[in-house]
């Protein structure tokens, strides 16, 4: 069976978890076509993107830029039997959400419906907002089942009426945190939503044996390295992290390495200057997975001050926390969304409430000055990731939903 995975953009440096999932499913035998609503905006790629064999279909990002393609798609789609039903569904949605994006979703769905390869038997949307809308309309036009994966912003910024109707329409949906699952399951038919963690590829993020660092913040020539990996957007709380660092005792020497890009970059740089810590902050920008792994291994401590944004957007379970723990890094994070599902306060890391720079500063300070405690928390976190958050174990459940045989089943058959 060939499945079309509908993504908002491909490839994207910030969506490694989707790429590693696609690569792993291909290794298990699933034939995939990737449908992207946008063309890439970044020149760099992760190595995992080069492992993916899937065919690529880019839809028109803006309908006005490819009017002939959209018009031809409409001429063909309107001859399909479900066209009037699909148009009526879309128009009902448009009345409740009269936005240009809703119009674009229908135009993209028309193109997808007529250009989708004939051997595709199912559509699968990554993200419950725009990709799921395009997928739903196109699946109805083609008479195909559709399924989905829901993650973070797509859940918390989508209206409840829309979530209910999409969950009633899809065949099944997986989501990556218990918090997400409980919220969506309450809106869906019984059994429709299942929890499947993304998991860390523990071959790519293999643990390394290295001498334990004794940095304790008392050597200005060798400061404690604090790593934060986050897009520079409101929900990631980088502003809170900077304010917390400015409160850390002046007698402790530290350096912040920030990895990630985003619209708030200049604002965060200005804030660091205003707080008097700009000379202690290194802004790396977006990095490939291979370079990011080196940053994890060079750091002493990981920090992420996630919070709920004003529009309701929030993290699910940030994959960077699991990646950091896979490298035995102690983590300081916030009690937002599903983070406590991974980070156990006082056992595998430290958790504080969101938007609380003083509390975040105290947590950082306690670990900057104690390499032994960092080591204990990091090792406990590494063991927990290996036990419950590895890619292979969690992928097995997703593979089964796509009808793939259990891993190793072919070996059993050969020896039977």
Q: Helix, strand, coil % (nearest 5) of the chain?
A: 45, 15, 35
Spatial distance between the Cα atoms of 401 and 25, rounded to a whole number of angstroms: 11
pLDDT for 413 equals 32
d(CA 200, CA 385): 8
Which residues lie below 8 Å from residue 236, measured CB to CB, with a gap of 6+? 230, 260, 262, 304, 305, 306, 307, 315
Average pLDDT over residues 374-385: 95
pLDDT at 319 over 80: yes
DSSP state of 344: P
Label residue 366 by pLDDT band (50, 70, 90).
very high
Asked if 2-199+391-412 and 224-388 have one fold, the answer is yes
Nearest to 185 by CA among 196, 169, 197, 174: 174
Which tens digits make up the pLDDT trace of 272-310? 999 999 999 999 999 998 999 999 999 999 999 999 999
Helix ranges (DSSP H) in 170-224 = 178-185
Tell me what pLDDT residue 416 has: 29
For residues 254 and 216, give the distance between their C-alpha atoms in angstroms, rounded to a whole number. Answer: 9
Segment 355-363 shows an average pLDDT of: 98
Residue 340 to residue 337: CA distance in whole angstroms = 8
| 3.40.50.2300, 3.40.50.2000, 3.30.70.1230, 2.60.40.1930: CATH of 2-199+391-412 | 3.40.50.2000
Q: For residues 285 and 260, is the Cβ–Cβ distance under 8 A?
A: yes
* Nearest of 300, 342, 348 to residue 320 by alpha carbon: 342
Rg (CA), the chain: 23
Share of the chain above pLDDT 70, in %: 97
- Whether 411 shows a pLDDT value over 70: the answer reads no
304: left (phi over 0), alpha (psi -120 to 50) or beta: beta
**Could you identify the residue written with the tokens 């109707």?**
165
- Model confidence pLDDT, tens digit, residues 167-220: 999 999 999 999 999 999 999 999 999 999 988 989 889 887 766 678 999 999
pLDDT 10s digits, 36-71? 999 988 888 888 999 999 999 999 999 999 999 999
User: Is residue 95's pLDDT more than 60?
Assistant: yes
Element (H, E) at 193: strand 193-195
pLDDT on residue 43: 81
User: Is pLDDT at 396 greater than 70 in this prediction?
Assistant: yes
Q: Where are the domains of the chain?
A: 2-199+391-412, 224-388
Q: What is the DSSP string of 23-51?
A: HHHHHTT-EEEEEESS----S---HHHHH
Res 1: pLDDT: 76
Top pLDDT among 387 and 242 is at 242
Supply the pLDDT for residue 408: 60
Spatial contact of 367 and 374, defined as CB atoms under 8 Å apart = yes
Q: Is the pLDDT confidence value at 414 over 70? A: no
**Token reading at 223:** 């400061």
Decide: helix, strand or coil at residue 254.
strand
Would you identify the CATH topology of the domain 224-388?
Rossmann fold (3.40.50)
| Cβ count near 381 (within 10 Å) | 28
């Amino acid at each position: 069976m060939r499945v079309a995975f509908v993504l908002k953009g491909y490839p994207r440096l910030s969506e490694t978890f989707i790429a590693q999932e696609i690569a792993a499913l291909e290794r298990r035998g699933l034939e995939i076509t990737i449908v992207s609503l946008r063309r890439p905006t970044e020149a760099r790629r992760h190595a995992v993107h080069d492992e993916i064999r899937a065919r690529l279909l880019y839809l028109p990002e803006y309908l006005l830029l490819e009017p002939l393609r959209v018009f031809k798609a409409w001429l063909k789609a309107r001859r399909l039997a479900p066209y009037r039903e699909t148009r009526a569904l879309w128009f009902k949605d448009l009345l409740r959400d009269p936005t240009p994006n809703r119009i674009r979703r229908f135009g993209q769905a028309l193109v997808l419906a007529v250009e989708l390869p004939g051997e595709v038997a199912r559509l699968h949307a990554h993200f419950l907002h725009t990709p799921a809308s395009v997928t739903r309309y196109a699946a109805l036009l083609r008479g195909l089942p559709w399924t989905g994966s829901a993650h973070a912003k797509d859940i918390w910024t989508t209206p409840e009426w829309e979530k209910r109707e999409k969950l009633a329409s899809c065949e099944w949906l997986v989501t990556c945190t218990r918090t997400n699952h409980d919220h969506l399951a309450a809106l869906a038919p019984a059994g429709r939503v299942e929890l499947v963690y993304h998991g860390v590829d523990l071959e790519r993020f293999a643990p390394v044996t290295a001498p334990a660092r004794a940095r304790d913040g008392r050597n200005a020539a060798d400061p404690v390295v604090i790593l934060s990996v986050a897009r520079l957007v409101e929900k990631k709380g980088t502003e809170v992290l900077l304010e917390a660092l400015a409160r850390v005792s002046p007698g402790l020497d530290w350096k912040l390495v920030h990895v990630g890009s985003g619209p708030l970059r200049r604002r965060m740089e200005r804030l660091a200057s205003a707080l008097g810590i700009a000379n202690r902050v290194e802004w790396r920008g977006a990095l490939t997975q291979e370079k990011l792994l080196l940053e994890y291994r060079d750091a002493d401590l990981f920090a992420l001050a996630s919070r709920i944004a004003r529009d309701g957007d929030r993290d699910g379970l940030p994959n960077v926390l699991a990646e950091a723990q896979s490298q035995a890094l102690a983590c300081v994070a916030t009690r937002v969304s599903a983070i406590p599902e991974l980070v156990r306060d006082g056992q595998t890391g430290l958790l504080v409430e969101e938007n609380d720079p003083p509390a975040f500063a105290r947590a950082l300070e306690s670990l900057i000055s104690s390499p032994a405690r960092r080591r204990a928390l990091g090792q406990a976190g590494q063991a927990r990731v290996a036990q419950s958050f590895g890619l292979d174990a969690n992928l097995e459940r997703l593979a089964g939903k796509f009808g793939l045989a259990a891993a190793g089943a072919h070996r059993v058959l050969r020896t039977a």
